[in-house]
Amino acid sequence: MKLIVPRETRDGEKRVALVPESVKKLVKAGISVTIEQDSGAGSFIDDRAYAEAGAAVATDLKASLSEADLVLKVNPPTLDEVDLMRPGAMLLAPLTPTRNLGLVRKLLARKVTAFSTDTIPRISRAQAMDSLSSMASIAGYKAVIMAADALPRYFPMLMTAAGTVLPARVFVIGAGVAGLQAIATARRLGAVVEATDTRPAVRTEIESLGAKYVGVEAGEEAQDAGGYAKELSQEFHRKQAELIAKHCAAADVVITTALIGGVTAPKLITAEMVDKMKPGSVVVDLAAAGGGNCTMTRPGETVEHNGVRILAPLNLPSEVAFHGSLLYSRNLTAFVLAFWKGGAFALDLSDDILKEATITHDGKVIHIPTAQALEKDGARP
């Protein structure tokens, strides 16, 4: 099997889909690996390191992709990249398929078997493949560093000759992987941290990190079978809005991480809530790619309103490119090797992991939510 890693073309992307450590494992398993020239430059990995690990380094992307059996990417492929892939080739990348229907249609037309890293189920067998968690952990860490840089206050309490400086107050909305890492990082910097989540089950995890849990008793199941938060009742949202407004007003930093189904960002912070926040306060909206948890969020930009800054980064893992590449590479390698059997990739669509991860195959949509999104999109006038 010929495995190809193209250089990422997204603006600002510094990560690479495979690092030399993973190349060695794949080559040892009998897989031919080709890396496009300078793919690892943003992560401080040179082409010589790939060659020493056993990979070929290619300068002609068109020729390489046309021969690829499997393509690995950090970001969704461009339509031009899909056009270069041969029918029957496989692709492994974070496709967010229900948002990228044009890409899905192109993959269907090319008869590419596409696996999406963001639909891999959160089951014990797939833990080593969970790139969403790997990248979310980096985002949660980096969000706090960004907030500390933007906040005109110290995070820790300090005893100085000029008197005592009180610690910053940090409020984290959403206690998934990103939220928990944000809590841990803010606590390590000395902040007083409070956190909320629609899933009361995460209270123990929040408190184990030294933060205070604040929440609304849902009285209903707050997560789906895949472990993602799901939509709840209007009465719950009313109570939740009151709680969020109260804690945002008291916070110096608010970090939001809430996504429904891992894709859609619910609007949790209104302009009225921002109006009541202290001048100099900072909001870091980690759900910006899904539209943002704050109604004032502008994805990829920083907005200032009445002295409150709202940061909406779109690709924080790229800012920690070395470890972002390392962890992502390990996740993809675990996926490939899990189904590498007898010198071939075993595409068994009855397998629990492949059944969820496969978006398109042989010109058909396999992933049910994507099929529903395509049907709904086609019915629009």
Tokens in use for 246?
A: 């109260």
At 199, which amino acid appears?
A: R
SS3 label, residue 361: strand
Residue 172 sits at φ, ψ, to 5 deg, of: -110, 125
Give the C-alpha distances (Å, rounded to integers) separating 142 from 61, 149, 182, 183, 255: 33, 11, 8, 12, 11
Name residue 172's beta-bridge partners.
195, 255
SS3 375: helix
Of 57, 53, 47, 42, give the one whose Cα is nearest residue 20.
53
Cα–Cα distances (Å) from 256 to 184, 210, 243, 244, in that order, read 15, 18, 14, 11
35 in Cβ contact with 5 (< 8 Å): yes
Burial of 178 from C-beta contacts in 10 A (0-12 / 13-18 / 19+)? buried
| Interatomic CA distance for residues 345 and 353, integer angstroms | 14
DSSP 8-state secondary structure symbol assigned to residue 319: G
Asked if 268 contacts 256 with a C-beta cutoff of 8 angstroms, the reply is yes
Residues that are catalytic = 122, 127, 130, 133, 228
The first and second tokens of residue 286, run together, are: 């980690």
Residue type, 31: I
Cross-strand bridge partners of residue 303:
310
Q: Would you say 3 and 335 are in contact if contact means Cβ atoms under 8 Å apart?
A: no
**Which amino acid appears at position 126 of this protein?**
A
Structure tokens at 227: 């472990």
Number of Cβ within a 10 Å radius of residue 95:
27
